[in-house]
Amino acid sequence: MKVRTRFAPSPTGYMHIGNLRTALYEYLIAKTNGGDFILRIEDTDQKRFVEGAEEIIYNTLKRVGMNWDEGPDIGGNYGPYVQSERKPLYAEYAHKLVELGGAHYCFCSAKEADEQKDDEQNIKFKDPCKHLSLEEARARIAAGEPYVIRQTVHKTGTSVFHDVVYGDIEIDYDELDEGVLLKSDGFPTYNFANVVDDHLMEITHVVRGNEYISSTPKYNLIYEDFGWTPPVYVHVPQVMKDAQHKLSKRNGDASFQDLVAKGFLPEAVLNYICLLGWNPGTDEEIFSLEDLKKVFKMERINKSPAIFDITKLTWMNGCYIRALSSEAFHEMALPYYKQVITRELNFKVLSEVLQPRTEVLGQIPEEIKFLENVADYSVELYNNKKMKTDPEVAKKTLALAYEALKEQSSWDNDTLFAALKALAEKEGLKNGQILYPVRIALSGRETTPGGATELAVILGKEETLKRISEALQKLA
RNA sequence: GGUCCCAUCGUCUAAUGGUUAGGACACCACCCUUUCACGGUGGCGAUACGAGUUCGAAUCUCGUUGGGAUCACCA
């Protein structure tokens, strides 16, 4: 049987990290088994629908290269792939389930049911409608009375099911509540739509967060009552913000699109989240989606929750940035340059200097804004013990450097560095006594991406000489 | 509260009864070096606790503690 997995998000306007990781695992389980990955939109809750949310889902999956084989936009043999378009189907199956004894009509209001139950005291809603005869129930429906269809838990004892990650799980049937399957607006709940669709779409592996573990026996009961075969279950642990809280939009935690907006590369984010709760069993950590298709094994998914660590993602993003071709990096970095730079610079050299130093693209503007303007700085900066410089030394060496640089006709790093090095030798100075002050003069900062001569190349001859003479005035 | 699940360095994790408990991030030190970074070398640092089974336990069993999930006409 062909492996088929599905990613079934509800369009609530946001793709969070845990969701994306679930999608990744679903994709990989399909692709490592030569199967199909299906996209299904679960929009049965009309109140939560967010305009444009579907687009975010499509764009995110496309951005990371997880192409779906069937879905709302491209169709397939098991459509439609949007649950609101499948509405009549659920009603049909729900009524059928009533006939099969797996569900019953209920005329109680949501409020009535809610008032009866008590979580603390473990009191469940006991539906009086359960005892209505089918004829009576149908008569009331025919009379126009609003109703829902509730699941009937008709078994006792212990339900056992197997999960790829968690092993065998046992839950007593009397723990199961008889939840609503078909709402009074005619839409199914997740609990029902999910089972019907997974069956009709021939989904073989259901991958979802482990918060569904406790309701899985209810779903299995539905499969059983219909005479259908349940899927293989792969419940995955939560992705946490810290030991107590899971990542969520409410906490203001970063979504995939937030991370990308901050300058994280989609490939790096995907690589990182894959390793949250899964590992290949080797020491390797850097994996492209193509690599993962070769090494992923669902049996190696962990049971315990994993905390999302932005520091490690940042490191990994740096790895991806360094692995970029210099052209690719340059192109990606350019928009960030433009945020703070209006003057003409040697951007090509700037990119060469920045690439090994950049971990997140969003850091770039802050790192380079001194190239646009030198912020006011204290002459104390010229004090550096290791370089054996102070404002007095700087005054002298900057003047020498000015003259030496003024005479240079070719303006590249090797030439400039050789010239200043030769100057130091000639004057009996340490390299640093010239280079350090020049770097301060050009940047006004204690540390900079690149050294003195690299900054000079980036700034160009005219601006370099201008900044050195301004520094000399400051030191005078 | 009932039920279910989880528990190795700060974090992500490896070790499917026998390892000086391994790797990665972070941190620290040193090397490289025109500052910073990159790169290299090294260091710090964990089996939650208590019993049991066993020649031998991070690993199996039980208990304790801690955490999480679930108990919607949300998914």
The region of weakest confidence among A13-27, A117-131, A329-343 is A117-131
- Rounded Cα distance between A140 and A173, Å, is 30
A4 touches strand B (CB under 7 A): no
Distance CA A194, CA A206 (A): 10
Paired tokens of A229:
């075969």
Report d(CA A237, CA A163) in Å as an integer: 12
Higher pLDDT, A46 or A233: A233
Higher pLDDT, A126 or A276: A276
Q: How far apart are CA A23 and CA A244, in angstroms?
A: 24
| pLDDT class of A120 with cuts at 50, 70, 90 | confident
ipTM of predicted complex: 0.95
Q: Which residues contact A1 (CB under 8 A, 6 or more apart)?
A: A204
Is A96 assigned a catalytic role?
no
- The percent of residues in chain A predicted with pLDDT above 90, rounded, is 86
How large a percentage of chain A has pLDDT more than 70? 100
A277 CB closer than 7 A to any strand B atom: yes
- The nucleotide whose C1' lies nearest the CA of A451 is B34
CB burial of residue A6 (10 Å; 0-12, 13-18, 19+): buried
- Give me the catalytic one of A249, A262, A395, A461: A249
> Which pLDDT belongs to residue A181?
97
The strand pairing partners of A118, in sequence order, are: A123
CA distances from A29 to A109, A234, A298 (A): 42, 10, 7
Instruction: Say whether pLDDT at A73 is over 90.
Output: yes
If you average pLDDT over every residue of chain A, what do you get? 94
Assess whether pLDDT exceeds 90 at residue A252: no
At A389 the pLDDT is 92
Q: For B15, which residue's CA is nearest its C1'?
A: A281
Residue A13 CB partners (closer than 8 Å, separation 6+):
A50, A52, A53, A56
Give DSSP secondary structure letters for A242-296: SSS-B--TTTTPPPHHHHHHTT--HHHHHHHHHTSSB--SSS-----HHHHHHH-
* Contact, A45 CB vs strand B, < 7 Å: yes
Mean pLDDT of A345-351: 97
Whether residue A158 is predicted with pLDDT greater than 90 in this model: the reply is: yes
**Neighbouring C-alpha atoms within 13 Å toward the C-beta of A293:** 14
CA dihedral A223, A226, A229, A233 (to 10 degrees): -10
Report chain B positions within 7 A of protein CB atoms: 1-8, 10-15, 22-26, 34-39, 67-75
Distance of C1' in B23 from CA in A312, Å: 14
What is the distance in angstroms measured between the alpha-carbon CA of A159 and the sugar C1' of B64? 28
Residue A398 has pLDDT above 90, yes or no: yes
pLDDT tens, residue by residue, A11-69: 887 789 999 999 999 999 999 999 999 999 999 877 777 788 889 999 999 999 999 99
> A251 falls in which pLDDT band (50, 70, 90)?
confident
A214 CA – B70 C1', rounded, Å: 6
Is any atom of strand B within 7 angstroms of residue A174's beta carbon?
no
For A285-292, the CB contacts below 8 A with 24+ separation are A285/A316, A286/A316, A286/A319, A289/A64, A289/A65, A289/A66, A292/A24, A292/A28
**Of residues A199, A204, A186, A193, the one with CA closest to residue A226:** A199
A413 CB less than 7 Å from any atom of strand B: yes
Look up the pTM and report it.
Answer: 0.94
Q: Which nucleotide is nearest to A182 (CA to C1')?
A: B73
